[in-house]
A and B are shown apart, each in its own frame.
Chain A
Amino acid sequence: MEYVDYYKILGLAKDSSDEDVKKAFRKLARKYHPDLNPNDKGAHKKFQELNEANEVLSDPEKRKKYDKYGKDWQHAEEFEKARQSQGRRQYSTGGNPYAGAGGQGDEDFSDFFSSMFGRSEGRRGGGQAKFRGQDYNAELHLTLQDAYATHQKTMAVNGKNIRITIPAGVEDGQVIKLKGHGGEGINGGPNGDLYITFVIAPHPTLKRLGNDLHTTVDIDLYTAVLGGEIMLETLSGKIKLKVNAETQNGTKIRLKGKGFPVYKSDGEFGDLYVTYSIKIPVNLTEKQKELFRELSES
């Protein structure tokens, strides 16, 4: 566990006044507050560190303990135990002066903080600023087929199962916010939010561009020349495609409304673009070659 220099985090000298601590925290909180830095994990982490530093340095008792033990904090508990055994017991519970009822979870604070101060104490009404809880970020991996239809999924976030509805048409990298499903608020502040980023795996044959889908289909030379029908696998099932006679290689056709559903627009779909790739026959027999020669001379 690493020693955390709370003075350094707030950019302060050890002899800074309470007013300096307050000012420094306010200034940096304005810079890194999650509300001002949406989807910025780095800023969220920095804000968490600031909160922790402020929690300690703005509280005279905690600051005293931090200043007293500093880098030797690992020995602080042993020292306290020795003092207690000498009949100078100060605390009623386990030697941890800050393990108050109704405290916050440890997840908003570093291991260093928890080791030194135990759980953060609840200070509702103590005149301290309220802060909303930490925002959580999670990734949800989907296939293109999953993203094609609205469905429900259960995911575990911080030990809690959350059932969410995934609307058809979500994009790769799209982020949705679940209000109040993040970390618990600090000093009675509201809970943070949960941000879920959708990660959509590439499909082997279909490429998505906005709401449109693109695919390349191989057709044999004879179907391309004479015309015919082919079966095409789409996300909504198999469809029969009519290939016109004398179809050229690279011909692109558009199937209106057979693309991807438009996000939060019920019944609206993009288009499916099919590009024909004509395959030239190989391993021809002598007879077939002769027929091609005849054809070329005709």
Chain B
Amino acid sequence: MQTDELILTEAFCNYYKIDYSFIADLQRVGLIEITSVERATYIPESELQKLEQLVRLHYDLDINLEGIDAIAHLLEKVKHLQNEVIGLKNRLKLYEDF
């Protein structure tokens, strides 16, 4: 069974010097998932990389929540298309080699 480490949201906010409301907003629009255990909230380790990226978009590039939401969807699409291109290139190479 795969285990998922949990990171205390407060610790994350302190480390990146960001406001908790930003994390709450991201959760509200469905961009990240937060786990609650008793009274504390935690970020699953699997969400960390994505969350760090969203933090950079907001704090480094001044992109608001709506913009981040749109970018996150477009990045998903880019990733999907890049994988499709790799698969198609490999298929094409197969026929070119024959």
Contacts and interface: CB of A to CB of B under 8 A. Distances in A.
Given A36-B75, A173-B89, A30 B61 contact: yes
Interface in B52-98: 52-53, 56-57, 60-63, 71, 75, 78-79, 82, 86-87, 89-91, 93-94, 97-98
A36 B75 CA distance: 7
A38 B61 CA distance: 16
A179 B49 contact: yes
A210 to B, nearest CB: 8
Interface in A197-241: 202, 207-210
B43 to A, nearest CB: 15
B75 A33 contact: no
Contact of B63 (A30, A208, A209): A30
Given A26-B62, A179-B49, A36 B90 contact: no
A103 interface: no
Q: Chain A's interface: helix, strand, loop or mixed, by majority?
A: loop
A172 interface: yes
A131 B60 contact: yes
Nearest to A209: B94
Nearest to A129: B60
A84 interface: no
A202 B96 CA distance: 12
A182 B6 CA distance: 25
Nearest 10 pairs of A and B residues by beta carbon: A173-B86, A30-B61, A35-B53, A172-B90, A207-B94, A209-B94, A35-B56, A129-B60, A29-B61, A33-B61
Given A33-B56, A36-B57, A38-B82, 11 more contacts: A26-B62, A30-B61, A35-B75, A36-B75, A38-B78, A129-B60, A131-B60, A171-B86, A171-B87, A171-B90, A173-B90
Interface of A: 26, 29-30, 33, 35-36, 38-39, 129-132, 171-174, 179, 190, 202, 207-210
18 contacts: A26-B61, A26-B62, A29-B61, A33-B56, A33-B57, A35-B75, A36-B57, A36-B75, A38-B82, A131-B60, A132-B56, A171-B87, A172-B90, A179-B49, A207-B94, A207-B97, A209-B94, A210-B87
